């Protein structure tokens, strides 16, 4: 059984076809990289997979279950988590509150109007553990407004990881990071255990190629090339549309 299967997925915005007959099959534990020039439809594909957008046709399966018509909030409960290319965090709150919100999202306690959220020790403990994992434990109580861009990227990853996803979608996790930060995030991603399947969009080839086992190249919403690292890099079409000569 595959972790994530996308079959004949299509999406058009008016006359613009942004996803055309995309097929994707990601095995459990796999590290998949999705590349493609700007506007190739990579983020759109993510938005279709997470349910932020509804496909025009085609189907999506998560761990063998058809989730094409499952609302995106339910997909989180079924084991899908994502990070955003444009950092999407709760800017008025502290770092740890952001992570606690991620934990609460999967807990039945999210409907509780009577208990004091800050005093729920197990949320705080788990959130702190997730922050330790991404190396932010020492500044857990800092307001998000006082953090750097690189730290926010790691908060995004901590929020996704703390939900214990089976499939993790990373949308350009290295975007905007300095070389040092990139190395840290890279180490962090390498440390994620193999029971998590990872699909990643990334432009930064040095780190991304090293990370991924299989690579899918999108161009104008279509899958052009798919294969392992060597195959895709060697493929003339990759050179043509992406890597340059």
Partner 1 sequence: MSQRVFALLVAFVALVTLPYWMTGVYYVNVASQILFYAIFALGLNVLAGYGGLVSLGHAGLFGVTAYATGYILQLGFGHTFSIIAALIIGLVAMAIYAVLSLRSTGIGFIMITLALGEILWGLAYRWISLTGGDNGLSLKTRPEPFGFSLADANTFYYATLVVFLLSLAAMTIFVRSPLGAALMGTRDQPRRMNALGYHVWATRFYACMFSGLLTAVSAVLFVYYTQFISPQTLALTSSAEVLLMVISGGAGTLLGPIVGSALVVVVKTVVSGFIERWNFLLGAIFVAIVILMPEGLVPGSTRLWRMAWRKRKPRAGTVTGGAEAKS
Interface with partner 1 (CB under 8 A): 50, 52, 72-74, 76-77, 81-82, 84, 88-93, 97, 100-102, 104-107, 109-118, 120, 143, 145-146, 159, 163
Q: Could you give the count of Cα atoms lying within 13 Å of 34 in the half-sphere of its Cβ?
A: 28
Closer CB to partner 1, 84 or 220, in the complex: 84
CA proximity to 214, closest of 228, 196, 234: 228
Nearer to partner 1, 159 or 177 (CB): 159
- Write out the E strands in the chain: 4-13, 16-26, 31-35, 57-62, 65-66, 80-82, 167-171, 197-201, 214-219, 222-228
Q: 175 or 233: whose CB is closer to partner 1?
A: 175
Min dist. Cβ of residue 33 to partner 1 (A)? 21
> Shortest gap between Cβ of 191 and partner 1 (angstroms)?
23
Nearer to partner 1, 46 or 211 (CB): 46
Token match 């994707």: residue? 24
Cβ–Cβ under 8 Å, residues 198 and 192: yes
Both structure tokens of 48: 């279709």
d(CA 71, CA 115): 28
Instruction: Judge whether 31 and 9 are in contact, CB under 8 Å.
Output: no
To the nearest whole angstrom, how small is the minimum distance from the Cβ of residue 161 to partner 1?
13
H or E element: which one contains 90? Answer: none
Q: Please, what is the minimum distance in Å from the beta carbon of residue 235 to partner 1?
A: 33
Q: Minimum CB separation from partner 1 for residue 207, in Å? A: 24
Compare residues 58 and 79 and give the one whose CB is closer to partner 1: 79
Tokens standing for 88? 């999407």
């Amino acid at each position: 059984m595959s972790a994530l299967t996308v079959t004949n997925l299509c999406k058009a915005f008016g006359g613009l076809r942004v996803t055309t007959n995309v097929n994707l099959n990601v095995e459990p534990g796999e590290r998949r990289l999705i590349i493609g020039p700007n506007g190739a439809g990579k983020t759109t594909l993510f938005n279709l997979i997470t349910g932020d957008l509804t496909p025009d046709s085609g189907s999506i399966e998560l761990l063998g279950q058809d989730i094409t018509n499952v609302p995106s909030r339910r997909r989180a409960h079924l084991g899908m988590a994502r990070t955003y290319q444009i950092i999407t965090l709760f800017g008025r709150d502290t770092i740890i509150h952001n992570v606690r919100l991620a934990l609460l999202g999967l807990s039945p306690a999210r409907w509780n109007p009577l208990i004091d959220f800050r005093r729920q020790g197990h949320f705080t403990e788990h959130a702190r553990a997730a922050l330790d994992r991404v190396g932010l434990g020492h500044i857990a109580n800092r307001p998000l407004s006082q953090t750097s861009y690189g730290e926010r990227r790691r908060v995004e990853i901590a929020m996704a990881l703390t939900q214990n996803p089976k499939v993790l979608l990373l949308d350009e996790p290295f975007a905007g990071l300095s070389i040092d930060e990139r190395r840290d995030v890279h180490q962090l991603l390498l440390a994620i255990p193999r029971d998590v399947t990872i699909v990643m969009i990334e432009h930064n080839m040095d780190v991304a190629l090293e990370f991924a086992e299989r690579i899918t190249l999108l161009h104008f919403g279509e899958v052009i090339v798919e294969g392992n690292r060597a195959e895709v890099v060697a493929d003339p079409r990759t050179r043509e549309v992406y890597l340059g000569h």
